[in-house]
């Protein structure tokens, strides 16, 4: 691609979409690149309750993302679907090398988000997609009237467990502590749900099955005692949904952009990284809170800073 964009945004989650809306509306020549489905993690979220201005009666991630995406189109940002394999971020013109071609821009906003953290138990990779899932909205219907287990104790884990009760015969939350970390309002909903049960102070040590998941071994982190859980013989399987946090998608640029000890991109309050003309926004950035609203704010700030830099230039 010979064209040099004023702004390239990598990633079309809430941060990237917000950046594209602000950048496009400011008449900045903008390209939005996404390798997969638009929306990032929020597209897998069934129920959003705290996004300002959302539908009060209820809002799903896909609906919110769809409206954001249509705003991007309204304000004229170019869009392309491609997988970026490497990038050269130093210099006045940045180059992103994709499977389908190269993309050049004077500024780049990294909005690559994060991905689900695995449990790290024995045989885990073998059963991803065969009983183990990281997305309740995507896979809940596969486990209708089956037993389902959810690993985690934060907001996401408990909210998704509540959602899974609409489909599963019973949902059991497995948490490594003796109390949930979710907010009080979410906990209240969980404890009042008759289809939710809890296994405390425990982690999944091993999963097994042939060919699908039907057995796992839990270990009590306080006593060391092990518990074997097997699927109901009539069912032959159970679901295991994992919500224990995320890791940043920084492999593409980790050798160029400065990262924190935890692997997230370090920026100043204006989303600027250590490289001039390179910004980061959303869950990929080191910060205290990772919510849709904070991702959108990051994207807006980064886009405004790009516009300001172009005006000053």
Q: Helix/strand/coil (H, E, C) string of 30-43?
A: EEEEECCCCCHHHH
Same domain, 181 and 110: no
Same domain, 215 and 172: yes
Antiparallel, parallel or unpaired: β 101-105 and 132-133: unpaired
pLDDT at 1: 60
pLDDT at 53: 87
Q: Which of 242, 270, 297 is the last residue of a domain?
A: 242
pLDDT > 70 in the chain, percent: 99
Same domain, 81 and 167: no
Catalytic residue among 44, 139, 147, 155: 139
Same domain, 71 and 103: yes
pLDDT at 290: 84
Same domain, 237 and 252: no
Same domain, 202 and 293: no
Asked whether residue 35 carries a pLDDT value surpassing 80, the answer given is yes
* Domain residue limits at 100: 4-116+246-312
Cα 279 to Cα 267: distance, rounded to the nearest angstrom: 7
Same domain, 110 and 171: no
Q: Can 135 be counted among the known catalytic residues? A: yes
Catalytic residue among 78, 135, 197, 208: 135
pTM score, whole prediction: 0.81
Same domain, 301 and 163: no
Q: What CATH number is attached to the domain comprising 8?
A: 3.50.50.60
Catalytic residue among 138, 178, 232, 235: 138
Same domain, 131 and 236: yes
Same domain, 177 and 200: yes
Q: Which of 194, 220, 242 is the last residue of a domain?
A: 242
258-299 pLDDT, tens per residue? Answer: 999 999 999 999 999 999 999 999 999 999 888 899 999 999
Same domain, 153 and 292: no
Q: Can 121 be counted among the known catalytic residues? A: no
Q: Which of 242, 268, 301 is the last residue of a domain?
A: 242
216-275 pLDDT, tens per residue? Answer: 999 999 999 999 999 999 999 999 999 999 899 999 999 999 999 999 999 999 999 999
Q: How many CB atoms lie within 10 A of CB 86?
A: 11
Asked whether residue 49 carries a pLDDT value surpassing 80, the answer given is no
Structural domains counted in the chain: 2
């Amino acid at each position: 691609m010979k064209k040099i964009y004023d702004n390239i945004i990598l990633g079309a989650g809430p941060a990237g979409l917000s950046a594209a809306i602000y950048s496009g509306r400011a008449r900045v020549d903008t390209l939005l690149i996404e390798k997969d489905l638009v929306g990032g993690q929020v597209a897998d979220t069934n129920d959003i309750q705290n996004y300002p201005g959302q539908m009060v009666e209820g809002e799903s991630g896909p609906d919110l993302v769809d409206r954001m995406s249509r705003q991007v189109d309204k304000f004229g940002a170019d869009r392309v679907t491609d997988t970026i394999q490497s990038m050269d971020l130093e210099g006045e013109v940045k180059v992103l090398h994709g499977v389908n071609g190269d993309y050049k821009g004077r500024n780049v906003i990294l909005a690559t988000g994060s991905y689900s953290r695995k449990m790290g138990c024995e045989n885990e990779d073998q059963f991803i997609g065969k009983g183990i899932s990281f997305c309740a909205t995507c896979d809940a219907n596969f486990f209708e009237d089956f037993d389902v287990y959810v690993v985690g104790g934060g907001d996401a884990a408990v909210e998704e467990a509540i959602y899974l009760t609409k489909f599963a015969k019973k949902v059991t939350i497995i948490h490594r502590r003796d109390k949930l970390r979710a907010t009080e309002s979410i906990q209240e909903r969980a404890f009042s749900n008759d289809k939710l049960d809890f296994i405390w102070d425990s982690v999944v040590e091993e999963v097994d099955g042939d060919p699908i998941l039907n057995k796992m071994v839990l270990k009590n982190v306080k006593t060391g005692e092990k518990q074997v859980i097997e699927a109901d013989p009539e069912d032959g399987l159970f679901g295991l949904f994992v919500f224990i946090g995320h890791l940043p998608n920084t492999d593409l640029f980790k050798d160029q952009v400065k990262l924190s000890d935890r692997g997230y991109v370090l920026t100043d309050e204006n989303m600027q990284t250590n490289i001039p003309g390179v910004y980061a926004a959303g869950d990929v950035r080191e910060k205290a809170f990772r919510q849709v609203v904070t991702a959108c704010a990051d994207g807006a700030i980064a886009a405004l800073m790009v516009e300001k830099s172009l005006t000053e230039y």
